Chains A and B, each alone.
Chain A
Amino acid sequence: DTAVSQTPKYLVTQMGNDKSIKCEQNLGHDTMYWYKQDSKKFLKIMFSYNNKELIINETVPNRFSPKSPDKAHLNLHINSLELGDSAVYFCASSQIKGTEAFFGQGTRLTVV
C-alpha cells in the first residue's frame, strides 16, 4: 500500500499547454502539501491545505492552482506551462503539528 501516491510519475509537454498532477494519501492525514524541487535540488513549499482549505500559498504564479476535493486528495493544475516550470513536484501529507511529512515519489515535469 502506497501511503502518498502521485500520478503521473513523468510528464513531458509543450509550452502553453495545461496539465494536472494528482495526489492521494491513505494515511488519514488532514494536511497536504505541494513542494517544488528545482534542478539544483532545492525544495520549496508551494501550497499547504488543511482539511480541504488552503492555508499557505507561497509566491507561486497564479497559473498554478491547487484543488482539494476531499482531505485525502490534493491535485495541482498548471495553466499555460512555461519552460521554467520544469522541475520535480512532490506531494506530501502530515498529521498534527510536530510530526514528519510523508512524501510521494514525485512527478518529473518537463516542458519543451
Chain B
Amino acid sequence: AQSVAQPEDQVNVAEGNPLTVKCTYSVSGNPYLFWYVQYPNRGLQFLLKYITGDNLVKGSYGFEAEFNKSQTSFHLKKPSALVSDSALYFCAVRDVGNTPLVFGKGTRLSVIA
C-alpha cells in the first residue's frame, strides 16, 4: 500500500528566504506525486504534480518540487518565501490505477515578515 511521510509538523522561514517542505513516499510501483495547499477554512488547492519526465516540476505561485527516486523524496521548494505562503501543505501519492490520493499528515508553513 502507498504511504507518504511529512517529517516536519511546522516549518518557519523568514520572508524572502528559500523554503523547503519535505516529503518521502512509499509505493509498490511508479509513483504519481502531488502537492496541495490548504488555507484556513478552505478546501485543498492543487499546486503541482510529478507523473513522469523531468525530476524538477514547476507549479502554481512559484512553487517547484524535486522528485528523487533513489531517496524516494518529493520535496516542495520555493526560492523566495512570501508571508502569503503561510498555510498547511500536504504531499500526496497515488499508485497506478484509479486509486485515491493518499495524503501525508501535513506541514504547517509559517513565513515571518
Does A106 make an interface contact (CB < 8 A)?
yes
CA distance A55 to B89 in the complex (A): 28
CB neighbours (8 Å) of B100 from chain A are 33, 35, 45, 48, 56, 101
Stretch from B19-27, B43-51, B77-85 at the A interface: B43-51
Residue from A90, A97, A105 in contact with B98 in the complex, judged by beta carbons closer than 8 Å: A97
Q: Assess whether A98 is in contact with B32, with CB atoms less than 8 Å apart.
A: yes
Does B88 make an interface contact (CB < 8 A)?
yes
Q: Assess whether B34 is in contact with A42, with CB atoms less than 8 Å apart.
A: no
CB neighbours (8 Å) of A99 from chain B are 49
Q: How far is the CB of B46 from chain A (nearest CB, A)?
A: 5
Q: Assess whether B88 is in contact with A41, with CB atoms less than 8 Å apart.
A: yes
CB neighbours (8 Å) of A55 from chain B are 98
CB neighbours (8 Å) of A50 from chain B are 98
Q: How many B residues touch A, CB cutoff 8 Å?
A: 24
Q: How many A residues touch B, CB cutoff 8 Å?
A: 28
Does A31 make an interface contact (CB < 8 A)?
yes
Most chain B C-beta atoms within 10 Å of own C-beta, residue among A41, A55, A106: A41
CA distance A99 to B46 in the complex (A): 11
Q: Assess whether A105 is in contact with B42, with CB atoms less than 8 Å apart.
A: yes
CB neighbours (8 Å) of A41 from chain B are 38, 88, 105-106
Against B, the Cβ 8 Å flags (1 = close, 0 = not) of A28-52 are 0001010100001111110010100
> From A9, which residue of chain B is reached at the shortest CB distance?
B41
Does A102 make an interface contact (CB < 8 A)?
yes
Residue from B38, B42, B101 in contact with A101 in the complex, judged by beta carbons closer than 8 Å: B101
Q: Assess whether A102 is in contact with B51, with CB atoms less than 8 Å apart.
A: no
**Chain B residues within 8 Å of A, Cβ to Cβ:** 32, 34, 36, 38, 42-46, 49, 51, 88, 90, 94, 96-103, 105-106
* Beyond A41-B105, A45-B101, 5 extra complex contacts between A and B, CB < 8 Å: A56-B99, A94-B98, A98-B96, A100-B34, A106-B43
- What are 11 inter-chain pairs, A to B, with CB distance below 8 A? A33-B100, A41-B106, A43-B103, A56-B100, A92-B101, A97-B94, A98-B51, A98-B96, A101-B100, A103-B45, A105-B43
